[in-house]
Structure 1
Amino acid sequence: MITVSSLKHLRIPFSLFLMPVFFFALAITPNLQELRILWVFLSLHLFLYPSSNAYNSFYDQDEESIGGLKNPPKVTPDLFWLSLLFFAVALFIGLQINWQFASMILLYGLVSMAYSYPGIRIKKYPWASWFIAGFFQGYFTFAMAYVGLSDLTWASVLKPHVIIPGMLTSMMLWGSYPLTQVYQHGEDSKRGDNTLSLKLGIKGTFYFSNLWFILTGIAFIWYFISKNQQEIIWVYLGAMAPIILYFLLWFSFVRTNPDKYTNYSWAMGMNAISALFLNAFFIYYFFENTQILQVFGN
């Protein structure tokens, strides 16, 4: 029997925070087809990511706030099987496109399991977990979505037109990832998980993320210039402005009183505002880059 607590641990709304990667891949996909768009979206955001959330929650046994759950309910045994069921459904949907896309879903799922599985537990290694999480939730997910959306093969993930934007998404996540850990120092310490944020310290985490935000901004501007899309730069900067303002405001409060402002609400606020404006930007970029509105207009 599936319990209510297990359904909550799927944290399906939390998938919103990873949607910018999907929309960016959608924006550069040359071979769009409505059914494939639906299959890829459902397999990733409704089944694969919730499966990963549930599996990691099962092994973490969190008692304090986690991403998407301020007060996580007690984990029950059915959560493990529910996570595997969602993983199986994600694989089944992936096979409706091709086996290469399904195999990428399989690899992503196995890596996400290794993140919290006690025998491996990537999470306890600060730099490895930071790199792997950013790489797989960024570049690899971008490439996986691209392959699924266009019904392509593994060979396409090594093409420059996939690698470059894919690595841009990893850069975004390498900047934001430590901020998702900044309010969990106490619980991570109890479990022996030496996360990157714990290693850097609270203020060090903000300085580290700020550096990556700057590098990411420069990289995106270069990308749009290289594609002769200078007009997109101003839209991108407009979308980033409220995100950076929120970050700087949060950091200013943290510098004066870290115990009060390093909390779940501020961290989730950072995630929410980032998801809102980045999703909006990449949806806009999808319409501009594909010129799909002009096609319908004609």
Structure 2
Amino acid sequence: MPVFFFALALTPNHNESRILWVFVALHLFLYPSSNGYNSYFDKDEESIGGLKHPPKVTKDLYWISLVFFLIAIGIGATINFSFALMLLIYGLVSMAYSHPWIRIKKYPWLSWFIAGLFQGYFTFAMAYAGLSKLSWEVLYKPHVFIPGLLTSLMLWGNYPLTQVYQHKEDSRRGDRTLSLALGIKGTFLFSSSIFMITGAAFAWFFLDRNQTQILWVYLAAMTPIMLYFLTWFNFIRLNPIKYANYNWAMGMNYFSALALNAFFIYYFLENTQILQALGY
């Protein structure tokens, strides 16, 4: 959702109907479809995502995920062909992530790169194209590529942390995730280095746009996330096995989601000057 709001903040052609339908296509159908489809093939028995005790998957989940996928593409087609095609590509890559025939998930660096690329840059470009009713050629435009790459940096930093409590589950399935390859402490060192690069990149982006005030708001929004991360990292250094758990990982997700969504909604309102236009 932060990626959607970031794209919305930079979109030149706002239209209330398109904003609604792009949001619905992505968040109510495409993402749930992806999540359900991957969950079906992962068949997780331990904590995963937002579920501490995931139920056993059934064939119904598989079929519902495909129906949701088709609905997302159908909604995309009402906007334009390019947006529908990008929804299709995102969904197929997501399916390849966990499907046993390909299972990108079992390749640590490849899965890290592809997940961050498609959930960040590609999603940003896809949302931008849908919101503005533009073609897939936006993928190559600098004004889309650069902020899109920033969103990928965010995800490349956070992605290994979402795997840090799943080492036993991933090992059982034969998936060598990046966190498993790096080890628990290595995961935190790696993520902290990406976070520093991400912060510097966003600072450059806002300063290049002469948005110093936005930069300070961004840094304020990132502060609780970094404090939580550093606190968790400190506990990990004391006892990696004990603190690399579901509750700490979900706490990181919740803090990140809350702060990032709040910031990018603010950035959308400020960058588009909607509040000023309404007299606020």
Q: In the alignment, does 2:142 pair up with 1:187?
A: no
1:35 deviation in Å?
0.4
Q: In the alignment, does 2:128 pair up with 1:146?
A: yes
- What is aligned with 1:71? 53
- What is aligned with 1:38? 20
Instruction: Tell me the TM-score normalized by structure 1.
Output: 0.93
Q: What amino acid is aligned across from residue 242 of structure 1 in structure 2? A: P
Runs of 4+ in 1 over 6 A off after TM superposition: none
- Equivalent pairs counted in the alignment come to 280
- What is aligned with 1:14? none
CA RMSD of aligned residues (A): 0.7
Q: How does 1:159-174 map to 2 (within 5 A)?
A: 159-174=141-156
- What is aligned with 1:61? 43
Gaps of 5+ in 2: none
Aligned residue among 267, 272, 275 for 1:285: 267
- What is aligned with 1:239? 221
1:167 deviation in Å?
0.1
Question: Helix, strand or coil: the match of 1:96?
Answer: helix
Q: In the alignment, does 2:79 pair up with 1:97?
A: yes
Determine the C-alpha separation between the residues in 1 that align with 2:23 and 2:279.
Answer: 26
Q: What amino acid is aligned across from residue 51 of structure 1 in structure 2? A: S
Question: Helix, strand or coil: the match of 2:278?
Answer: helix
- What is aligned with 1:13? none
Q: What amino acid is aligned across from residue 260 of structure 2 in structure 1? A: L
Q: How does 1:188-227 map to 2 (within 5 A)?
A: 188-227=170-209
Question: Helix, strand or coil: the match of 1:190?
Answer: helix
Determine the C-alpha separation between the residues in 2 that align with 1:143 and 1:265.
Answer: 32
Instruction: Tell me the TM-score normalized by structure 2.
Output: 0.99
- What is aligned with 1:175? 157
Q: In the alignment, does 2:86 pair up with 1:109?
A: no
Determine the C-alpha separation between the residues in 1 that align with 2:242 and 2:99.
Answer: 32
1:56 deviation in Å?
0.4
Determine the C-alpha separation between the residues in 1 that align with 2:129 and 2:47.
Answer: 35
Question: Helix, strand or coil: the match of 2:79?
Answer: coil
1:230 deviation in Å?
1.1
1:178 deviation in Å?
0.1
Percent identity over the alignment is 73
Aligned residue among 100, 108, 121 for 1:126: 108
Determine the C-alpha separation between the residues in 2 that align with 1:156 and 1:242.
Answer: 34
Determine the C-alpha separation between the residues in 2 that align with 1:136 and 1:161.
Answer: 17
Determine the C-alpha separation between the residues in 2 that align with 1:247 and 1:231.
Answer: 25
1:41 deviation in Å?
0.4
- What is aligned with 1:26? 8
Question: Helix, strand or coil: the match of 1:297?
Answer: coil
Determine the C-alpha separation between the residues in 1 that align with 2:165 and 2:182.
Answer: 13
Deviations 1:92-131, CA, capped at 9 Å, x for gaps? 1111111100000000000000000000000000000000
- What is aligned with 1:16? none
Deviations 1:24-77, CA, capped at 9 Å, x for gaps? 000000000000000010000010000000000110010001111110000111
Q: What amino acid is aligned across from residue 86 of structure 1 in structure 2? A: F
Determine the C-alpha separation between the residues in 1 that align with 2:151 and 2:59.
Answer: 35
- What is aligned with 1:9? none
Gaps of 5+ in 1: 1-18
Q: How does 1:253-272 map to 2 (within 5 A)?
A: 253-272=235-254
Q: What amino acid is aligned across from residue 171 of structure 1 in structure 2? A: L
Deviations 1:115-153, CA, capped at 9 Å, x for gaps? 000000000000000000000000000000000000000
